[in-house]
Amino acid sequence: MMLQRKNRLRASALGALVVSGALVLTACGSDNNTPKDGSSTKAAAPTGDASQCAGAKGQLLASGSSAQKNAMDLWVNGYMATCKGVEVNYKASSSGEGIVAFNQGTVGFAGSDSPLKPKEVEDSKKVCTGGQGVNLPMVGGPIAIGFNVSGVDNLVLDAPTLAKIFNGKITKWDDEAIKKLNPSAKLPSTAIQAFHRSEDSGTTQNLGKYLAATAKADWPYEPEKKWPAPGGQAASGSAGVAAQVKQVDGAIGYFELSYASQQGIKTVAINTGASAPADATSENASKAIAAAKIAGTGKDLALKLDYTTKAEGAYPIVLVTYEIACDKGNKAETLPTVKSFLTYTASDAGQKMLAEKGYAPIPAEINAKVREVISSLG
C-alpha cells in the first residue's frame, strides 16, 4: 500500500507542477514564489473562445486568496492570450484582504476561500449599487498538510491527532498517538514545529471547519480566518508556510496542494475511518467536493461542504475558492471584463486545466449555475 501511495503522490506532484516564467502582471503578492515586485509567474494555459472577449478592454484589478494563485496564474495567462489588449492583475494576498479591497471598491472581483459573512454582504451593498456581493465557486482542492521529518516518507494522521498537534498538545514526533497511526514508521523524538498563516486566511478557516467538525474535543475554536490556537509559528501566505515546512526539520503546516507539489514537500494522508487513509490529491478532493450542497440563495452560490465524510478515497480537508462579484451595480468600465474573464475561468477549458495542476474542478452541475450567474451580472 505504501508503494502505491508513493506512486500516487509522485503522479500528483508531476501533474500539479506549474511551468514558471515571467507574466505581465503588476500585482503585489505575498507568496514567496513571486518576484519581489509581486508579479505572478507565467504558466502555460490553453487559449479560450475569442467570443468570450466581447466588450473586454483595458485593465482589470482583482485580489484575494493565495490558495488559488497558481490556478489564477494559468487563467490569467490563457485569458490574456485569448483576449488581446486586456490585462488582468490579480494580487495574491489573502481572502481577508481581498474582501476588504472588494468592499472598498478598488477591485473588480475578489477571491476568497470562504463565502462572505452577513456583515460583509451588507458592506458590499455600498459598492454594488442596487445589488450585493455574491459568491461564485470557481476552484476547489485539497488543503495539504505538509510535513518535514527526517527519515519519515509517509505519514498518516487523523483529526484528533492533527488537532492536538496544531493546538500544541502533541509536541514530539514520536508521541504515542502518532506511533499508533504509523506503526511501521521510524518516528524520531524531534520537536514538532507547527506553522500557520500570519494573516486572515480562508485556508485557515477551512482547516478550522474540518477540525471543529471532526475533533471538537481537541479543537475548541470557532472556525475563523484568523489563526485561533496558542503557540506555533506564523508565516505569510500559503507559499510562506510551505517554504518554512520545506526548510525546517520537524515542521508541519497547511497549504494548497500545488505548493507542496512544486517544492517536493511530503503530505499527510488522513485517516477518516474509511478502509484506507486518503491522500491529498485533486481526485480525492473532488470526491469530497462532489457531495457539496448550495447553501446560498438567489444568485449567491455559497456551498456547504461535508468535512466529516467517510467515503472511500475522499480527502476531507478541502476548500472551495469563490470569486466574489456584484450581482448588480458593477462599475460600468469594468463589468464587461469581469464577465469576460469569469466566463473564461468557468469555461470547460478553464476548469479542465485545474486537475492537471493539483486543483479540483467545480462539479459540473454547480458550475452550470455559476455560468448562468456570470452571464446575468449587471
Provide the residue-wise pLDDT of the chain in tens; the chain has 378 residues.
434 444 443 333 333 333 233 222 222 233 333 333 333 334 456 666 778 898 999 999 999 998 899 899 999 999 999 999 999 999 998 999 999 999 999 999 999 999 999 999 999 999 999 999 999 999 999 999 999 999 999 999 999 999 999 999 999 999 999 999 999 999 999 999 999 999 989 899 999 999 999 999 999 999 999 999 999 999 999 999 999 999 999 999 999 998 999 899 999 999 999 999 999 999 999 999 988 999 999 999 999 999 999 999 999 999 999 999 999 999 999 999 999 999 999 999 999 988 877 899 999 999 999 999 999 999
E strand or H helix at 211: helix 202-214
* pLDDT of 52: 84
Consecutive H or E run containing 9: helix 2-16
CA-wise closest residue to 178 among 208, 197, 156, 163: 156
Instruction: Identify the pLDDT of residue 108.
Output: 97
Looking at residue 355, its pLDDT comes to 82
Q: Which of 366, 370, 310, 296 is nearest to 339 (CA)?
A: 370
User: Is pTM, for the whole model, over 0.85?
Assistant: no
CA pair distance 213, 199, nearest whole angstrom: 23
Judge contact between 335 and 101, C-beta under 8 A: no
Q: Which residue has the cell 473586454?
A: 56
Cα separation, 337 vs 269, in Å, equals 41
CA atoms within a 13 Å half-sphere pointing along the CA-CB vector of 167: 18
What is the per-residue pLDDT for 273? 96
Q: Tell me how far apart the alpha carbons of residues 79 and 64 are, in angstroms, rounded to a whole number.
A: 19
Alpha-carbon torsion (271, 272, 278, 281), positive or negative: negative
What was the pLDDT predicted at 38?
34
